Amino acid sequence: MFNQKERVGSLITVPTHVTTVTRSTSPFLDFEPIALTPNPPTLPPSCLRICPQRGGYAQVQYKRNLPARGFKPWVYMVGMHAIMAYGFYKYFHGVREQRELSREKMWSRLYLTPLLQAEEDRDQVRRYYADQARAKALGIEDKVYNSERFIRPTFAITPSNVTQ
Amino acid sequence: MAQRDARFNQHVLVDTTPMPDHIPKVEEIGATSAPLFSAAYFIGDRCKAFNDDYMKCKEEANGRGEIECLKEGRKVTRCAASVIKDINTHCLKQFKEHWECLENNNHYLFECRKPEQALNSCVFDKLGLKKTIPGAPEGEVPVHLRPKQKYAQFPGRQY
């Protein structure tokens, strides 16, 4: 753009510069770009280096002349918060109900636990006495564990054929 | 010697030896999960003392509770059996409806509020046993008395 051009009869080189504005007529652009053309060679004597165009520059169009679509921005903001507030309201109520439901289920299990445990314990004790009787019949009197606690047997002695 | 293969056969593993005679016999509860779940709060209401007694005995037996707490365990089982028997005598229809509903709804209590309501009122009228959920927040309707159940397939009024 700054192709220097020597003028006849002068020692000063004057850059040719941005001057004239012409309009392009592109159908795909909604604003009109500025085409640049070099300055005309004659200049006023007081203005040797960088000078405005004669008659001034035309207005540069930087705004898009389009209508703003939709609502005002704060409407979207308020709407988003309203939707979120409603969702959280429903969520908290759902969580409270879930907590109560789990409490209900838990207590029903707690009320049944002694019953189920008693049944299981009786079964274990029955097996324990049966094991003791079998061991006694085989002549084994040893204690397996050095402990007074009741220990569920890890290995079971199975009869060779199905009893009963 | 090495020819004794391990047998992982449940059929053979069942030990059918009966309980020795010096331990009193008790009939087992014999109910499946859904009826027990349905009657759990009534069992808890009537048998709370026996249940607590048994659990306390187990805790204090220091690991020997299986043998030492057989007596308390029998009481627990007899008490629960008495509740089931009473419900069967007086509220059989409602009881059956409720536990069949539970059976068909993945044991979700919130799907079966209508039969539960019928069962609860019948049991309260006939047996005087009441379903209360301990620890539920004060000043709120307990979840089993709310007509609307948020998590049911039909979340509106259940009855």
Query: What is the predicted pLDDT for the residue at A143?
Result: 81
Q: Give the pLDDT confidence of A21-63 residue by residue, as tens digits.
A: 455 455 555 555 555 555 555 655 666 667 777 788 888 888 8
Owning domain of residue A16: 1-60
Query: What is the predicted pLDDT for the residue at B119?
Result: 97
Considering only A76-85, A154-163, B111-120, which range has the smallest mean pLDDT? Answer: A154-163
Q: Give the pLDDT confidence of B3-55 residue by residue, as tens digits.
A: 666 666 656 566 788 999 999 999 999 999 999 999 999 999 999 999 999 99
Which of A13-17, A151-155, B45-49 shows the highest mean pLDDT? B45-49
Mutating which of B3, B13, B51, B130 best tests the A interface, going by the most A Cβ atoms within 10 A?
Answer: B51
Q: Sort out which chain A residues have CB atoms less than 8 A from B66's CB and list them.
A: 121, 124-125, 128, 150
Residue A7 covered by a domain: yes
Per-residue burial over B56-68, b if 16 or more Cβ lie within 10 Å, else e, is ebbeebeeebbeb
Angle between helices B113-126 and B70-90 in degrees, nearest 10:
100
Residue A96 covered by a domain: no
Query: Contact A162/B62, CB-based, under 8 Å?
Result: no
The one-character DSSP state at B134 is T
Q: Give the pLDDT confidence of A128-141 residue by residue, as tens digits.
A: 998 889 889 989 88
High-pLDDT (> 90) share of chain A, %: 38
Pick the residue from chain B with its C-alpha nearest to A114.
B51
Residue A119 covered by a domain: no
Q: Does B44 touch chain A (CB under 8 A)?
A: yes
Which phi and psi angles does B114 have, rounded to 5°? -65, -55
Residue A141 covered by a domain: no
Per-residue burial over B78-104, b if 16 or more Cβ lie within 10 Å, else e, is ebbbebbebbeeebeebbbbbbebbbe
SS3 B52: helix
pTM of the model: 0.74
SS3 A6: strand
**Residue from A42, A3, A36 nearest A18 by CA:** A36
The one-character DSSP state at A44 is -
Residue A67 covered by a domain: no
Residue A36 covered by a domain: yes
Residue A88 covered by a domain: no
The domain segmentation of chain B, as residue ranges, is: 38-145
Number of separate domains in chain A: 1
Q: Does A6 touch chain B (CB under 8 A)?
A: no
Query: Contact B77/A108, CB-based, under 8 Å?
Result: no
**Residue from B32, B73, B75 nearest A125 by CA:** B73
Residue A109 covered by a domain: no
A67 CA: distance to closest CA in chain B (Å): 47
Q: Does B139 touch chain A (CB under 8 A)?
A: no
